[in-house]
Structure 1
Amino acid sequence: MTSPTTDPTFYRSPADAAAAPPEQLAYVAAFDRSGDLPDAMAVVDVNASSESYGRVVGWTDLPAGAELHHFGWNACSSALQHEGHDMNGLSRRYLLVPGLRSSDVHVLDTQPDPRAPEITKTIAAAELSAKAGYSRPHTLHCGPDGIFLTCVGGPLDDPDGPGGVALLDHSTFDVVGPWETDRGPQRLAYDAWWHLNQNVLVSSEWGTPSMIEDGLVPEQLLAGNYGHSLHFWDLAKGVHQQSVDLGAEQQMVLEIRPSHDPEATWGFVGVVISTADLSASVWRWHRADPQGPWEVDKVITIPAEPAEESLLPPALKPFGAVPPLVTDIDLSVDDRFLYVSCWGTGELKQYDVSDPAHPREVGSVRLGGIVGRRPHPARPDEPLSGGPQMVEVSRDGRRVYVTNSLYGAWDDQFYPDGVGAWMAKLDVWPDGGFTPDPRFFPHGDDFRGRRVHQVRLQGGDASSDSYCYRS
C-alpha cells in the first residue's frame, strides 16, 4: 500500500500512470559540439494552454565538453516494490545527467523550482572508474538495489575494456561498484532494462569508445565488430545467464524497450543497420516457457531508400542509398504502439504492437532526413537537417516528442553541412496515426547554439518507468 507521503508520480500500474495529470515541462539535454559553450539542461513548456507553450522557459549550464546524452530520474514507480527505501523521503526529484565524453555524472535538483534545476553533486569520472571500473556513462534507470548506470567504456586507463553497469546509491548517489558479479561473455555495452517480476535484466551492445567517439568506423562496421547480441541476466545476483547473437550483419543492437505489463516476458530492441542491405530492424525477445531459454526474432524490417549519389554524404556515396538508421524506439505505456525513429531517412514510424509478434504499421511522419530535408509545418519553407532521433512518449500515449541529434561525431558524418537543433511534438490519434503540432517547434537559437538529444518528461514518461502491478 502507498502512504499519503509517497510521491504521487510513483504509479502502481501502467493504467495509473496513463490516468495521472499530464506533463507540464520537458527536460532536454543540450550540448555544444565544439566544446566552447557550456552544455546545458533546457526546460521546455509543454502545457498547451500556457502562454509560453513550446518555448524554452528554463536553462541550467553544465560543464562544457561533456556531451550530455541519456539521463534519467533518481527514483520512479519501480520503487514501490523495492526493499529498504524510506518511502517518506524518496521522490522523483533529481535528474542524473551523464556526460558521454567527460564521463562525469551531474545531479540536478528539480525542486523547489522545476524550471530552474540546480547542480547539487557531480560524480567525477575518477570515482566512477576507481569504484566501478567503468567510463563513458550512457544510460541510467532507477531500480532495485540502486540506480543502474550503463557505461560504454572500461576504466579510464583502459577505456576499450569491457563496458557494463555501475551501481549508484539511491540516496547519496555515490558509486557503490560494478553491478555484475559474473559477466560471462559480455564485453560490449549500451542499454539495460528489466522485467522486475521475472528477476531478469536485458542488456544490449554498441561499441567501445574508440569505435564511436570519432564517428562510425567503416572497417569496424564491415567486419561486424559493433554489437550484435542481447544478454539476459539474473537481476538480483548480477549473473550473466544467456546471450543471443542476432548475427554479425546486424550491427549496433541499441535501445531496449520491455513491455510495461509487469507480468509480461517480451520486449523490443532496435538494430541500427544491416551490412547485408543497409536495412534497419526491430527484434522481439520472448520466451514461451517461464523457465526456458530466451528467444529473439526479427519482427520489423525497414529497407534502405535509393538516392542520388550527389545528395549523399561521403560515407554513403558508394552505396547509392540512404539507410534508415534506427537509432531509437519507444513503447507506449499501454504497450499498444511502438515508435521507431529512422534518423537517416528522417522518418518516425508508428506500429500497432497489440500482437507483439506481428507489428502493423499505422502511422508515419517525415521531418528532415539526409536526403529529404522535409520541413516542419511551423516553418514550411525551411528544409530541416537531422531527423527524428530520440523519442519520448507521454504516459497517456497522446503526445510524442522527438529531438534531432544523435552523437556529435555521428551528426557530422551523416549531416556534414550541419545538423541544426530542433524539437518537435506529435499528437497521436486514438486508433493510430499522428501529426506534428504546428504550434510546437523550439529550434535553432532557442537552444542557444547547442544541439539537443534526449527528453525526459516531468512526472515520468514511457521509457523511464517500470511498474510493479497489473492494472
Structure 2
Amino acid sequence: PREEVAYVTCTYRCTGIEQPDFLATVDLNPRSCHYGQVIHRLPMPNLKDELYCAGWGPARGCFDSGAAAKRTKLVLPCLISSRIYVVDVGSQCRAPRICKMIEPVDVFWKCNKGHLSTTHPLPNGDVLVANMGDAAGHGKGGFVVLDGETFELKGNWENECEAPPTGHDFCYQARHNVLVSSAGVVPRVAGRGFNPDDLKKGVFGRRLNVWNLSCRSLTQCFDLGEDSLPQTVRFLHNPEAAEGYVGCALSGAIFRFYKSCEANNWAVEEVIRIPAKDVSGWIMPKMPAFIADLVISQDDRFLYVCNWLHGDIRQYELSRNCKPRLVGQVFVGGSILRGGPVTVCRDEELKCQPEPLVVKVSGAGPAA
C-alpha cells in the first residue's frame, strides 16, 4: 500500500537557533488538503542532539498468515549528544511520541562508544546502531545493540579488538552472512565543521569493512583512497544478490562491492567518478562532488545519487555489465547555480552553470 506519511529528522545545529531538534511528520496522501505539508512536529526534550539517520525498529506481523509486517517504532540516534530516542509511530502515525530514551552516559559507560549515526534491525530482531567515535570523540567504528522488544541497550555488537578506526553507515545481506560498513569522520575534529586544513591528516575515513554477520567479526578491509570518506552503503534489494554500492563523499567515487569467485571473499571496483570542478569564490579551488546519499530502486534497475555540493540528483541505470550508465540528472540546489557567489572556471561535465530551480506551490502555507 502507498505510504500515508513520511518522517523527517530536523536539526538546528549550526543555525544559531537554541531550540531542540524535532521529528517532522509529512502528509503524503494526495487526496488530503495538507498533502506535502508538515502536519506534526515532535520536539526532542534536549538541546543540541543533532538527530541523524532515523531507522525502523524490527517489524511486527504475522508472516505465516501472509499479513504485511508492521513497523511501529522509529529509532533516532544522535550524532553529537550520543543519545538514542525511540519513537512510537504505531499508536498515532500522524502524531508520534517518544516512548523511550537512552542517555549518553549509558552508551559511554556500557559500550565506550559515542557519536551515533545509522541504525537497522538485525535478522534476530535486535536493533544495530553504528557509531563514529568513542566517548571522548576520538575515531572508533563499530556498533551498539538494542533489544528488539524492550529497546534496552545490550552492549557492543562486534567482538573485542575488532573496531575499525572510524564508522558511519552499514548494510547487510543475511543470505550471504555478510555485513558491510563504511568509514566516517573523527568526531572531535569534524564537529567544528569542514576545514580543508584537515585533509591528509587522517580525519576523514578511507576504509570499507566486511564483517561475518553471524560471528560478528571483521574479515576484510578495503582502502578506497586517502580522504575518500566512504559513507552510504547499499546492497541490492534482491536477497540473493551478492553485490552493492558505496558512495565516497569527498572523492566523488562510487565503488561496487561484490562476492568474488574465491569462496567467502569480497572485492571492490570503482564504477563511477564524479569529477571535481575548478571554481573561484569557494573555500577551495576545486569543489568535490560530495556524494551525500545513495538509493537503489526497489527493482534494482536504477541507482540514485545525491551529489550534494554540486546540487544535482543523478539517475544511473544498473546494467548487467556492472558499469552504471548516467540516464537522468536534475539540479535542485547546491553551490554552483548561476548568479551565486561561486564561479565555475572549468567543468568536465557541464557547458555552463545550471539555472536556479524555482518551485511554485499553490494553496495555503504549511499546517504545522
TM-score (norm: length of structure 1): 0.68
Cα RMSD for the two superposed structures: 3.0
Structure 1 159/306 Cα, relative in aligned 2: closer, same or farther at 3 Å?
closer
Q: 1:139 corresponds to which residue?
A: 118
Q: 2:95 corresponds to which residue?
A: 116
Instruction: Note the residue ranges of structure 1 that are not aligned, 5 or more in a row.
Output: 1-20, 82-86, 275-279, 375-382, 386-423, 425-435, 449-471
Deviation, structure 1 residue 270: 0.2
Structure 1 447/287 Cα, relative in aligned 2: closer, same or farther at 3 Å?
farther
Q: 2:153 corresponds to which residue?
A: 175
Please state whether the residue corresponding to 2:300 is helix, strand or coil. coil
Please state whether the residue corresponding to 2:248 is helix, strand or coil. strand
Q: How does 1:244-323 map to 2 (within 5 A)?
A: 244-248=222-226, 250-274=227-251, 280-289=252-261, 291-307=263-279, 309-310=280-281, 312=282, 315-316=283-284, 319=285, 321-323=286-288
Deviation, structure 1 residue 218: 2.3
In 1, Cα distance between the equivalents of 2:61 and 2:177?
13
**Match 1:217 to one of 190, 195, 199:** 195
Equivalent AA in structure 2 for residue 244 of structure 1: F
Q: Are 2:99 and 1:99 equivalent residues in the alignment?
A: no
C-alpha offsets along residues 115-167 of structure 1, whole Å, 9 cap, x if unaligned?
A: 1111111011111122222111110001134100001111x2x3315231001
Q: 1:346 corresponds to which residue?
A: 311
Structure 1 441/234 Cα, relative in aligned 2: closer, same or farther at 3 Å?
farther
In 2, Cα distance between the equivalents of 1:192 and 1:126?
24
In 2, Cα distance between the equivalents of 1:201 and 1:40?
30
Structure 1 80/30 Cα, relative in aligned 2: closer, same or farther at 3 Å?
same
Q: 2:347 corresponds to which residue?
A: none
Q: 1:431 corresponds to which residue?
A: none
Q: 1:49 corresponds to which residue?
A: 31
C-alpha offsets along residues 317-350 of structure 1, whole Å, 9 cap, x if unaligned?
A: xx1x432111111111111111111111101000
Deviation, structure 1 residue 35: 5.3
Instruction: Note the residue ranges of structure 2 that are not aligned, 5 or more in a row.
Output: 343-356
Runs of 4+ with deviation above 3 angstroms: 76-81, 182-185, 436-442, 445-448
Deviation, structure 1 residue 247: 2.2
Structure 1 245/22 Cα, relative in aligned 2: closer, same or farther at 3 Å?
same
Percent identity of paired positions between Structure 1 and Structure 2: 31
Deviation, structure 1 residue 288: 2.9
Deviation, structure 1 residue 113: 1.5
C-alpha offsets along residues 159-198 of structure 1, whole Å, 9 cap, x if unaligned?
A: 3152310011001111111000145472211111111101
Equivalent AA in structure 2 for residue 351 of structure 1: Y
Judge which range, 288-297 or 197-206, deviates more.
288-297
Deviation, structure 1 residue 79: 10
Structure 1 298/190 Cα, relative in aligned 2: closer, same or farther at 3 Å?
same
Deviation, structure 1 residue 38: 1.8
Structure 1 373/197 Cα, relative in aligned 2: closer, same or farther at 3 Å?
farther
C-alpha offsets along residues 211-258 of structure 1, whole Å, 9 cap, x if unaligned?
A: 32111232332345411111111101111111111122x521000001
Equivalent AA in structure 2 for residue 125 of structure 1: P
Structure 1 229/151 Cα, relative in aligned 2: closer, same or farther at 3 Å?
same
**Match 2:290 to one of 325, 340, 360:** 325
Contact 1:346 1:370 in 2 (8 A): yes
Q: 2:209 corresponds to which residue?
A: 231
In 2, Cα distance between the equivalents of 1:257 and 1:24?
25
Contact 1:79 1:143 in 2 (8 A): no
Please state whether the residue corresponding to 1:232 is helix, strand or coil. strand
Deviation, structure 1 residue 53: 0.8
Structure with more of its chain in helix, by fraction: 1
In 2, Cα distance between the equivalents of 1:128 and 1:447?
37
**Match 1:153 to one of 133, 138, 141:** 133
Contact 2:211 2:220 in 1 (8 A): yes
Please state whether the residue corresponding to 1:210 is helix, strand or coil. helix
Contact 1:183 1:240 in 2 (8 A): no
Contact 1:30 1:447 in 2 (8 A): no
Equivalent AA in structure 1 for residue 71 of structure 2: R
Please state whether the residue corresponding to 1:263 is helix, strand or coil. coil
**Match 2:50 to one of 38, 42, 67:** 67
Structure with the greater relative contact order (CA < 8 A, sep ≥ 6): 1 or 2? 1
Please state whether the residue corresponding to 2:129 is helix, strand or coil. strand
Contact 1:54 1:441 in 2 (8 A): no
Judge which range, 215-224 or 262-271, deviates more.
215-224
